[in-house]
Amino acid sequence: MAIHLKLNTLYHCSRSFGTAQPCPSYFNLTFFHFHRHHYPFSKTILKHNSAASTVVSRRALLSSDAALFQDVGATVFLITGGYSLVSVFDNLTHRKIISQNLSRKLVHIISGLLFVAAWPLFSASPEARYFASLAPFINGLRLVVNGLSLATDEGLIKSVTREGKPKELLQGPLYYVLILALSSIFFWRDSPVGLLLLAMMSGGDGIADIMGRKFGYVKLPYNQKKSWAGSISMFTFGFLISMGMLYYFSVLGYFQFDWNLTAQRVAVVSFVATVVESLPTTEQIDDNISVPLATLVTAYLCM
């Protein structure tokens, strides 16, 4: 009789615990399935395996608890951070230190980039991505409740809308947080596509607005509402932020890149996203949908 040890879910948590060790997903604890085969095995070996499996299962349970606490802590940090960010910019707008438009754009840039930068705080458990998505989903709920005027959070409305109308929360800001949530679920730390998508939406598109409003005297020939300064800024900063994000995650061990090839590919992705953002289609489709979509398709085709 042979013992065939089948571990249900084993996840190597190199980062979370500093050493590569088996770490099960906490909701999908490792269940040891013993399949008895008809091979001669002495009781001693059976006892040894049984004792060993008890040790491993205890360690697995401990590491799964640690992973759960780690993910809950990181989620609380993100949610708290999101609320704090909005209230800081509400304060700055209220005290007229910055304009409402600049406040919205800085929240647009900072929230998305810090959200992604915080992904390594989560454990290596398969469920970690869902915990991370809670922060944008909870903010989305907040945007819907205030956008439908079921509640009135003046600070939120002032710091993330153009004209201070609650209904505005149901457009750009809501699409934005939904893209954050979906990117963490479908791409997470497993694919550079999600990083590029958020770098272009948060960093590139956000900076295009700031630079375009400030220096956008020369308009684009095909779109009088957008300018060369805005688009060139989107391409340049979108590229740099994307490369910075890829470098950050590669230093943490999530990816390894051929940087020359990657730079060329990211340049193509940034260019396509910039062209899409410059098109006169904002009335039909929000930039917070068109830019991530263009980035996603181009990154899939060339990354």
Residue from the set 197, 208, 294, 296 that interacts with ligand CDP by CB under 6 A: 208
Could you give the dihedral angle defined by the CA atoms of residues 96, 101, 103 and 106, in that order, rounded to the nearest 10 degrees?
-150
* Separation of alpha carbons 300 and 270, rounded Å: 13
Are the beta carbons of 181 and 138 closer than 8 angstroms?
A: no
If contact means CB under 5 to 8 A according to the sort of partner, which of ligand LRRJ3J73, ligand CDP, none does residue 180 touch?
ligand LRRJ3J73
Instruction: Report whether 24 contacts 11 (CB < 8 A).
Output: yes
Token representation of residue 146:
């205030």
In angstroms, the CA 41 to CA 61 distance is 28
Q: What are the start-end ranges of the E strands in 216-263?
A: 219-220, 223-227
Minimum distance of ligand CDP from residue 150's CB (angstroms): 24
- Note whether 82 binds ligand LRRJ3J73 by CB under 6 A: yes
Say if CB 103 and CB 46 are below 8 A apart: no
**Given the rule CB under 6 A, which of 92-100, 207-215, 237-245, 293-301 is the region that contacts ligand CDP?**
207-215
Residue number with the smallest Cβ distance to ligand CDP: 230
Minimum CB distance to ligand CDP smaller for 44 or for 224: 224
Give the separation between CA 248 and CA 227, rounded to whole angstroms. 31
C-alpha to C-alpha distance for 235 and 63, rounded to whole angstroms = 43
Give whichever of 140 and 173 is closer to ligand CDP, judged by the CB atom: 173
Task: Select 64 or 90, whichever has its Cβ closest to ligand LRRJ3J73.
Answer: 90
CB 56 within 8 A of CB 155: no
**Considering CB distances under 5 to 8 angstroms, the limit depending on partner class, which of ligand CDP, ligand LRRJ3J73, none binds residue 111?**
ligand LRRJ3J73
Q: Which does 135 bind (CB under 5 to 8 A by kind): ligand CDP, ligand LRRJ3J73, none?
A: ligand LRRJ3J73
CB of 71 or CB of 287, closer to ligand CDP: 287
Are the C-beta atoms of residues 10 and 22 closer than 8 Å to each other? yes
Q: Pick from 24, 172, 194, 230: which binds ligand LRRJ3J73 (CB under 6 A)?
A: 172
Binding site for ligand LRRJ3J73 (CB under 6 A): 78, 81-82, 85-86, 104, 107-108, 111, 114-115, 118, 135-136, 139, 160, 172-173, 176-177, 180, 287-288
